[in-house]
Amino acid sequence: MLTRLGPVLAIGLLTAPVAFGLAGTILPAFGFLPALGGTGFSLAPLMALAGEPAIVYSALMSLVTGLVTTLVSLGVVMLFTAAWSGTRAFARVQHLISPLLSVPHAAAAFALAFLIAPSGLLARMISPELTGWHRPPDLLVVHDPMGLAMMAGLVVKEIPFLLLVTLAALPQVHPARTRALIAAMGYGRIGGFVFGLWPQIYPQIRLPVFAVIAFATSVVDVAAILGPTTPPPLAVRLVGWMNDPDLSMRFLASAGALLQLAVTAAAIGIWIVLEKLTARLRERCACAGLRLRGDAPVRWTAFGLMLLSALTIFAGLATLALWSFAGLWQFPDALPASFELRNWARVLPHLLDPLLTTLIVGLVSTAVATAIAILCLAREDEMGRPPGRGALRLIYLPLIVPQVAFLFGLQLLFILIGSVATMTALILAHLVFVLPYAYLCLKDPWRAFDRRYDQLAAGLGKAAWRRFLLIRLPMMTRPVLTVAAIGFSVSIGLYLPTLLIGAGRLTTVTTEAVALASGGNRRVIGIYAFLQMMLPAIGFAVATLVPALIFRRHRDMQV
């Protein structure tokens, strides 16, 4: 049976690259890499790592970034959901935030940088009238040593992600009924939610939260665009060592990747301790019967923060678009002196190759991932049960192991078998990240399908494959296309996998944009970031419009 292949392919595609990649990273970290003359084991790479200036500072910064980012974004999401879920304002903000999920991290980071830099749009809007600034103030706002800009950039991107996973978990705990019940006991909105609903929701979103910690502790693109530079966070330094002309630096890079693994593990460990502490605190408050009714300031703060994070990205993206058409635009002018198409005309010819690669890799990896996810779910239908918790953890593996920690080894593997920078290798690398999202996003709508349709069709004498092709798939058109759009946006946003496996020869819109970031040419960055944002948006538009068009005469197939 074809469906039997589903789980095998999924598990193989997710675990094999991670396992081989980790091996390819860990062995060189202990001096073993025969191709470079490392035939024995030694602690020399780790010693060299310890001798790197300020390595502890870099590692700590990564650790703190991961924890603070997760804490702030989860806090905002929790408070906002607590205070506003079920209201019309909540629905509005949810609609505002959802599209932000598809904005690649790099584009969001650029958006923030263009907004808050001393010469950014915010300063231009209020200068010189309010500030008296005729030239940008000498303030270290972006690339600040504390990493605040970097954390802000991560927070505005993780909020939409965590909000959407929370929303997916919400219906299973019957929020309306439970809220009414708790309110009847006299609890405030936020307190009631935190005591009564959050403990049921949190276990369901715990793995995504871990994924956020892992991502934020090891992020490269956002850190390069917004993060400190003297010294940069750990992952950025690793990639630097990786690209050093002195190949023996690979040993150091591998040792660093091992440290990265430890940093991420430590962050998750600290988080688990925090979970325990806050759970105990919550229980104590709940047992004390604290009603927490005067929560209006917190409610409005949560609302304000949520709105701020969304508007920041939108305003930043608008600034990016503005820059892409800007002629000379001097400080403190709020608008460019002229608008021109020259920037686009200049960049477009160079865009074709990366754009083509982006589309091919995105579409193929998404198609394969969606197909495998469907096979897995169809297999579950046959088996009559969802996979155990263990299998689910495996699906999260590529999202929780820091990318740098296994991509180094994976790149080495591809180099050794001579297939680095081939389309196949790149698609495979993207698949590792697209597949988890495809599976996780498809499973709920897939399982929500009313199985009686299938039984009915069987009663009408239709074989399994016809039922699948003529009933199940058409009825699942909308969720399948939505999942494909999500997968496509994940693929477009992938920076490090593309950089390392594409090895500079296969570039996508995202790697080009980050490469150009160092050049600081705002017009060109604007164009690339604008595209980065548009491609996923087009994907979602297709996912919405195509079913609407196909099923325009079938009312129950509309939204």
Instruction: State which amino acid sits at residue 363.
Output: L
DSSP conformational letter for 472: I
Site for another protein in 147-206 (CB under 8 A): none
Q: Does 50 participate in binding another protein (rule CB under 8 A)? A: no
Say whether residue 233 binds another protein (CB under 8 A).
no
**348 lies in the site for another protein, by CB under 8 A:** no
Are the C-beta atoms of residues 181 and 227 closer than 8 Å to each other? no
By C-beta, is 139 or 277 nearer to another protein? 139
Binding status of residue 541 toward another protein by CB under 8 A? no
Q: Does 331 bind another protein (CB under 8 A)?
A: yes
| Among 28, 46, 47, CA closest to 38 | 28
Cβ(228)–Cβ(151) below 8 Å: no
Select from 14, 67, 205, 347 the one that contacts another protein (CB under 8 A): 347
**Binders of another protein among 106-145, rule CB under 8 A?**
118-119, 134-136, 138-140, 143-145
CA 304 to chain centre: 23
The nearer residue to another protein, 140 or 546, going by C-beta atoms, is: 140
Does 245 participate in binding another protein (rule CB under 8 A)? yes
Distance CA 161, CA 159 (A): 5
| 521: contact with another protein by CB under 8 A | yes
Going residue by residue from 356 to 385, which x/- string records binding to another protein, judged by CB under 8 A?
---------------------------xxx
Selected range binding another protein among 195-203, 295-303, 388-396, 498-506, rule: CB under 8 A: 498-506
241: left (phi over 0), alpha (psi -120 to 50) or beta: alpha
Closest CA to 545 of 496, 495, 477, 488: 477
Query: Closest approach of Cβ 502 to another protein, in Å?
Result: 10
* Segment lying near another protein (by CB under 8 A), choices 52-60, 64-72, 159-167, 272-280: 52-60
548 binds another protein (CB under 8 A): no
Among positions 11, 20, 57, 122, the unique one binding another protein when judged by CB under 8 A: 57
Residue with token string 């688990």: 272
Q: Does 230 bind another protein (CB under 8 A)?
A: yes
Name which of 224, 100, 214 is nearest 489 in CA terms: 100
Q: Which of positions 416-475 make contact with another protein (CB under 8 A)? A: 416-419, 421, 450-464, 467, 470-471, 474-475
Q: How many residues bind another protein (CB under 8 A)?
A: 88
C-alpha span between 497 and 239 (Å, rounded): 12
In eight-state DSSP terms, residue 33 is B
CB of 109 to another protein, least distance (A): 14
Does 390 bind another protein (CB under 8 A)? Our answer is no
Looking at beta carbons only, is 288 or 417 nearer to another protein? 417
Q: Can you read off the two tokens belonging to residue 369? A: 């991932």
Total length of the chain = 559
State the Cα–Cα distance between residues 521 and 117, nearest whole angstrom.
14
Q: Binding of another protein at residue 505 (CB under 8 A)? A: yes
Pairwise CA distance, residues 405 & 249, whole Å:
15
How far apart are CB 409 and another protein at their closest, in Å?
Answer: 14
- C-alpha distances in Å from residue 266, one per residue of 65, 170, 206, 259: 13, 29, 16, 10
Which range in 180-188, 258-266, 304-312, 347-355 contacts another protein by CB under 8 A?
Answer: 347-355
- Compute the distance between CA of residue 8 and CA of residue 14 in angstroms, rounded to an integer: 10
